[in-house]
Structure 1
Amino acid sequence: MKQLYSRAHEALLAVSRQDFVSGADLAPSITGHSIPREETVRHLLGLIPEIDSHQVVMHVGGGSGYLTAVLARLARRVIYVDKNPVLAEKARERFFQCSLHNVDVMQVSADAGIEVDELCDLVLCTTFIKDPALLLPCVKRDGHILCLEGRAGPVPSLAIFRNTGGQLERVRTLGWVDFNRNSEQILIDLGLVSDSVLAQARIEAATGNDRVLDVVRRKLNLEEIDLYRSVAQQRGMKFTDGDEVLNSLNAELFRRFSRTFLDLSRLIPVSEEDSTLTVVTDDPDARTDQLERLTPRHRIVCMLVTPTDFRRIWSALDLTVKGSRFVAEQGTNTGVKPSETGASKDLLGKDNSRSISPYLVSVYEAILLDAVSEKASDIHIEQYENRVRIRLRVDGDLHDLPQYQLSAREIRGVINVIKLRAELNIAEHRLPQGGRSRLQLGNTSYDLRIQTQPSLHGENAVIRLLPQTGRAMTIAELGMSPAIGARYERLLDNPAGLVLVVGPTGSGKSTTLYAGLQTLADDGRRKVITVEDPIEYSIDNIQQTRVRTEIGFSFADAMRAFVREDPDVILVGEIRDQETALEAIRASQTGHVVLSTLHCNDAVDSLQRLYDLGIHPNSIAGELLAVIAQRLAKRICKHCRKPAEADPAILAEVFPNGAPADFRCFEGEGCDKCNGRGTHGRVAIVEYMEVDSDIRNAISSQPPIGELRWRALDAGLITMRDSALDHVIEGLIPLSELPRILPRERMAPEVRGGRRSNG
């Protein structure tokens, strides 16, 4: 490359690349060719013929306009060409802001032909076109066309052509031009970070032996899949989903290469077809040159996946290799059932020690990784007569994991691994057992609640995953209506009283209570103590205590101790018996706000439950502030939400006298963000009963439960039906969720004496 001549050097210094950085507004449109690095522009200017101040230059593939702006400092006139209308318009604005009035912008595809009002001395094409001859009508006689070649390669070359009497003559190859940017440069170009933030991220990455990209993602709280998809587009890489790769893995390829080499290179070979070897990586800056030297007969295609998917793919291949070895070592006879006392001995060694097959440990860890990746709340491992079933509960529904085709012998070993991790008795197969263990994945810790259960064909296991982030969901994030959310926050400011959150198991009661605790923790003015069994989420600035029944420390014992520790708010994980209920009432009577849960169906039902526990009606009436009853409904995916036709059968149940003319509902079409389900996450559907003087009088007189409900409705009870319909109309949940969360008698407005309640 010839030395950069002085005018080109001055032009490069006169244009700030930062003025042409795309930012988030152009993220989908920008690539390395669209906004080359300063080093790339310097290299290009050293390759191309010198540009005189009287010449006309065309730049095809102008992108953000950075290189065009440099050329405008050299030539009399520059014609900017790009087929992307968004890029072209943004470039026009930036040329005007930089006072570059000698640039004309054309939004057109070069492959369709370009018409110009003045022939050019030089055409520089920094994008790939079908045929350089398409640009011939734009060039003067003896003018030059410079085009990229070698599209299949990672780094293209720049070739120079001459217009010789109306014929295109190829002169020579000028050299290679690398448009690639590393991931750090891409983060800046996307407008996600500044140089100072990036410098701080580099320090944190070096200290924590982490990658800068992952540090930035955590600091900015970015969705992993969105960030890596954007970076892949910027790098010119194909982004792929882990599930697609898992369906077509080739374990033989994985065996062919050194594990150490693959781990250091951050590459996993996943498929081979003809002369093409496809690999995946979670590092956008990963190099494949060493792999190319190891497999000279193959063309390497590298695809980007998220770090979570990379770990899943690695685990799946590792499992396959270890599984083959395990079968070879243990034999293929899996039909013999060991005795109850000998089952653990069979898989753990002759002395019943805690040495267990690495393969079985890998199976368990892979299942956990899949659960975390799917954002599952529970893992179900079940044994039937002729098969093993592993399922994840995601957004309330169970989904099979078909990739785990395990034998009865193998699943017994996996359950032994689970028991060992949870410090349970691996020799006990006749009684249910419960325990807990922890999972550390990156910087996130998970508390695992383990429950094993004997069944006809072997032990089953259920694992609940609880992320320990130091923060719980806030009240605003629960999805309550603003009115109910505001009332809930106001309840926490009361000087004393009892607040109950009720519903069946798995209805999100604890999450709602923890949201209140998080609000109190963020406020910091009040002391909060909790007693729980177990502690589901760890929250900073909250004093949390666990029930220890094995040493005689129960909910009631904790309550009696807590009132002497000067708390403002006390959370009791659950009111299970009369003793705990009495202590909760006494604590509220002595000037504390008490939060707790009950298992019952609705807000008014909770009063009957307290009666059944032996609490005096006057005590309930005097101390109860409010009851929140709730269910969880699937939330429509915001990325694929669309208007929907209402199901006539459901509509007839909800509106017996006909739906309002302006009634509307929505559904999710299904997209890659929600794995085609149309729903993503869940939202609480709430029934809210605030206890006023009328309800207090009703509670004291202890009328039948039906009468109590009508008193509550007259006093302004917000029913679950009302909340659900509000969510349907707002497009938060689909109409099809209503029969799942509402009993049949509550689908329609409630009738009393020939009239209906509001709704």
Structure 2
Amino acid sequence: MKRVYPRALEALRSVSRHDFVSGSDLVPSITGHSIPREETVSHILSLLPEIEPDQVVMHVGGGSGYLAAVLSGLAHRVIYLEKNAVVAEAARERFFRLGMHNVDVLVASAEDAPEPDPLCDLVLCTTFITERHVLARLVRQGGHLVCLEGRAGPVPSLAMFVRREAGLERVRTLGWVDFNRNVEQILIDQGLVDDKILAEAKAEAAKQNCRLLEVLRRKLNLEEMDLYRSLASQRGMTFTDADGILPELHPALFRRFSRTFLDLSRLIPIAEEDGRITVVTDDPDARTDQLERLSPNQVVDCLLVTPTDFRRLWSALDLTAKGRNFVADHGPGPEQSDHANGSTDQLLGNDPKSKHVSPYLVSVYEAILLDAVSEKASDIHIEQYGDRIRIRLRVDGDLHDLPQYQLSPREIKGVINVIKLRAELNIAEHRLPQGGRSRLQLGDMAYDLRIQTQPSLHGEHAIIRLLPQTGRAMTIAELGMSPMIGARYQRLLDNPAGLVLVVGPTGSGKSTTLYAGLQTLADDGRRKVITVEDPIEYSIDNIQQTRVRSEIGFGFANAMRAFVREDPDVILVGEIRDQETALEAIRASQTGHVVLSTLHCNDAVDSLQRLYDLGIHPNSIAGELLAVIAQRLAKRICKHCSQPAEPDPVILSEVFPDGPPADFRCFEGAGCDKCNGRGTQGRVAIVEYMEVDSDIRNAISSQPPIGELRWRALDAGLVTMRDSALDHVIEGIIPLSELPRILPRERMAPEVRGGRRSQQ
């Protein structure tokens, strides 16, 4: 490489690149071309003809202004040309702040740029121009144009032209220019890290034997999808996701290359067409040159995916290959004997006498778990209907299929045996339901897996619930309750004694709401909290958690009797299922403890009838019950694609029989890549809140019919689920279409309170 002449080297050293590194003004549009590395600028200066102190130089595609600032130390006048007005204004401020008064800033495209007076001795263009002749009018006779040519990639070539009467005359190719920045440089340029943070992350990555980018993502608390989409933009790569690729994978192409080579290169070939091979990678710095040498006469297109999606794609292709080998090696043919079939059963894990399980089947199970984690699923459903196998995930309350798993009935039996072995269940038992648990560790994230197997007409089904174990639950503030109800819930936890119930059907988020209260208490640290649960769904630091063990006679009631002797302030009982547990909960609250628990019933007032049915005296309920929170979960509108919506007239007529308010509004999600086109992302609790005051206590003690008890609660200020849902609709948190899912038909309209319709 040519050496930089002394004046150019001095100009380069006099300008600090750090002064031009991004701020909030440049992050959205910064690239390697707009803020080249110092080494790249040095290389460009070595290729250019020597710039004299009396010359006029123009830099087209000025970007951050770093290269123009270096040129200002060489030329009499520098013209900075940039079409992005925001970027250009930021550069103007930097030039002024650094005292570079010989730099003129022009905001225009190359085609629209005015002719300078005088014309330029040198025009340097570091952005790709389709028609370079438009730059000729900016150069004096005999002056030079230096611009990029070749493919618009990270390593284009730089060519020099001279202005003649007839136009531009090509002189020669000056050399290649690498505008590429690695991930570390990109993160520094975006202001996300500095040299100190980078050094710490490198040390941690070496110690943990993991990738630097993963350590940085954790330390900076960045969303994986957002980080990799940003890096793809910076590297000029196309970002994609596994969901769109999985149905179109080409296993034969994957098998053509060495597994070790692909793993070390962090590349997965996914398609081949018209002389082009498409690969995906989760390494923005991945190189494809070796793959190009292995595939002569073919162009390699590289797409960027997240590490999670990379593992999903690898697992899908790996499973396909293992499945083919498995069938070839062990699949029973028509001529095989019963002994051969028995051997196949052992390899599949279908022989209860054998603990050997095929690695292929283990891989299938682990791939399903990985898909569930990446989709943020709450449950996995593995089902068999005759010869048809169905694997579904529950995401935000809805089930959807995983079509990439085309398994036979024989294979699914083996997968269910893998599940049973992991959960320490009896693999020989196929007639009775079984329940167990196991754990999953993915990087630094652990999951508790609650497993249930269920016999059915065509074979066993398996249901797996995934519970992330972070050592921390949501707080009350993070639940999404209205500020008023959130404040009341917080106040309940500060009471010296009493019973607080959270009620609703299975899967309505009761435990999450209770855990939010526990997390708030754990963060406060002034009160001792003990729980008894079946099972422990979330592990929370600084909370004493105990698991029910019915096999040795340790149930909820036994735990409650023991807890009151341990001087707790707050006791959580996982669920009140029977009279004995209900009585112990009442007694604990009578002896100076706040007791939190759940009940399975439909609404706040129904919980009172449930306690009556358990044999609890009405006066005991009236004296100890502080409040009841009933809830359902509604889909949350994706915040990235939320937009105003036209309300469904059928739903509107149910909610407002007398007509909607004039200012009523609602929203919906249009569907975007953040929510996989669903328009919703996550769920939020819609609550009914009944605080027990003196009027309700009197009503509870007299044990009136449940209908009368409800209108008395309404008159006493019951916050209904309809009220909460409508507040969330108007605020744009949930769509109007969720109301029929969470409200029974008779509760869609305003309720009658004491013989008159409530206000809307």
**Normalising by the residue count of structure 2, what TM-score does the alignment of the two structures yield?**
0.97
Match of 1:696 in 2: 697
Distance 1:635 1:523 in 2: 29
Match of 1:156 in 2: 156
8 Å Cα contact 1:344/1:427 also seen in 2? no
| CA RMSD, 1 decimal | 2.0
Match of 2:659 in 1: 658
Distance 2:350 2:483 in 1: 59
Q: Where do 1:18-37 residues align within 5 Å?
A: 18-37=18-37
Match of 1:41 in 2: 41
Give the paired residue count: 758
Q: 1:344 to 1:553 in 2, by over 3 A?
A: farther
Distance 1:109 1:705 in 2: 74
Q: 1:740 to 1:731 in 2, by over 3 A?
A: same
Per-residue deviation at 1:20? 1.5
8 Å Cα contact 1:110/1:134 also seen in 2? yes
Distance 2:58 2:87 in 1: 17
Match of 2:83 in 1: 83
Moved more, 280-289 or 631-640: 280-289
Per-residue deviation at 1:690? 0.9
* 1:194 alignment partner AA: D
1:227-267 deviation digits (Å, cap 9, x = unpaired): 00001111111111111221211111111111111111111
Per-residue deviation at 1:110? 2.1
1:136-170 deviation digits (Å, cap 9, x = unpaired): 10001111111112225541111111112342111
1:251-300 deviation digits (Å, cap 9, x = unpaired): 11111111111111111111111221111111111122222222232222
Match of 1:726 in 2: 727
Match of 1:471 in 2: 472
Moved more, 659-668 or 475-484: 475-484
Distance 2:401 2:431 in 1: 26
Residues 1:590 and 2:591 aligned together: yes
Moved more, 616-625 or 737-746: 616-625
Residues 1:201 and 2:196 aligned together: no
8 Å Cα contact 1:31/1:234 also seen in 2? yes
Per-residue deviation at 1:51? 1.6
Match of 1:55 in 2: 55
1:458-507 deviation digits (Å, cap 9, x = unpaired): 00110000111111112121110011111111111111111111000000
Match of 1:251 in 2: 251
Residues 1:535 and 2:536 aligned together: yes
SS at match of 2:502: strand
Moved more, 214-223 or 631-640: 214-223
Per-residue deviation at 1:102? 2.0
8 Å Cα contact 1:24/1:192 also seen in 2? no
Moved more, 349-358 or 52-61: 349-358
Q: 1:333 to 1:369 in 2, by over 3 A?
A: farther
* 2:46 alignment partner AA: G
Distance 1:306 1:88 in 2: 33
Match of 2:601 in 1: 600
Match of 1:235 in 2: 235
Moved more, 608-617 or 113-122: 113-122
Match of 2:637 in 1: 636
* 2:637 alignment partner AA: I
Distance 2:344 2:333 in 1: 15
Match of 1:553 in 2: 554
8 Å Cα contact 1:283/1:304 also seen in 2? yes
1:305-345 deviation digits (Å, cap 9, x = unpaired): 000000000000001101111221233669x9x99x99965
Distance 2:250 2:184 in 1: 32
Distance 1:614 1:346 in 2: 54
8 Å Cα contact 1:23/1:192 also seen in 2? no
**Normalising by the residue count of structure 1, what TM-score does the alignment of the two structures yield?**
0.97
Distance 1:127 1:643 in 2: 40
Match of 2:353 in 1: 352
Distance 1:10 1:703 in 2: 92
Q: 1:569 to 1:753 in 2, by over 3 A?
A: closer
8 Å Cα contact 2:604/2:688 also seen in 1? yes
1:17-48 deviation digits (Å, cap 9, x = unpaired): 22211234433311111111111111111211
8 Å Cα contact 1:349/1:355 also seen in 2? no
Moved more, 678-687 or 517-526: 517-526
Moved more, 637-646 or 342-351: 342-351
Distance 2:246 2:397 in 1: 24
Match of 1:488 in 2: 489
Moved more, 640-649 or 165-174: 165-174
Moved more, 748-757 or 179-188: 748-757
8 Å Cα contact 2:751/2:757 also seen in 1? yes
Residues 1:325 and 2:347 aligned together: no
Distance 1:618 1:189 in 2: 68
* 1:240 alignment partner AA: T
* 2:98 alignment partner AA: C
Q: 1:343 to 1:649 in 2, by over 3 A?
A: farther
* 2:199 alignment partner AA: A
Match of 2:715 in 1: 714
* 1:192 alignment partner AA: L
Residues 1:625 and 2:626 aligned together: yes
8 Å Cα contact 2:349/2:418 also seen in 1? no
Per-residue deviation at 1:384? 0.6
8 Å Cα contact 1:498/1:623 also seen in 2? yes
8 Å Cα contact 2:25/2:90 also seen in 1? no
Distance 2:500 2:532 in 1: 15
Moved more, 394-403 or 83-92: 83-92
Match of 2:527 in 1: 526
**Which runs of 5 or more residues in structure 2 are unaligned?**
none
SS at match of 1:300: strand
Match of 2:107 in 1: 107
Match of 1:9 in 2: 9
SS at match of 2:158: strand
Match of 1:265 in 2: 265
Identity of aligned residues (%): 80
Q: Where do 1:145-544 residues align within 5 Å?
A: 145-151=145-151, 154-331=154-331, 345=346, 347-348=348-349, 352-544=353-545
Distance 1:342 1:517 in 2: 52
Distance 2:350 2:453 in 1: 22
* 1:642 alignment partner AA: Q
Distance 2:463 2:691 in 1: 37
Q: 1:327 to 1:568 in 2, by over 3 A?
A: same
Q: 1:344 to 1:431 in 2, by over 3 A?
A: farther
Distance 2:403 2:158 in 1: 50
Moved more, 632-641 or 515-524: 515-524
Distance 1:208 1:350 in 2: 39
SS at match of 1:359: helix
**Which runs of 5 or more residues in structure 1 are unaligned?**
none
Match of 1:648 in 2: 649
Distance 1:66 1:388 in 2: 60
Moved more, 501-510 or 276-285: 276-285
Q: 1:370 to 1:587 in 2, by over 3 A?
A: same
Distance 1:527 1:730 in 2: 37
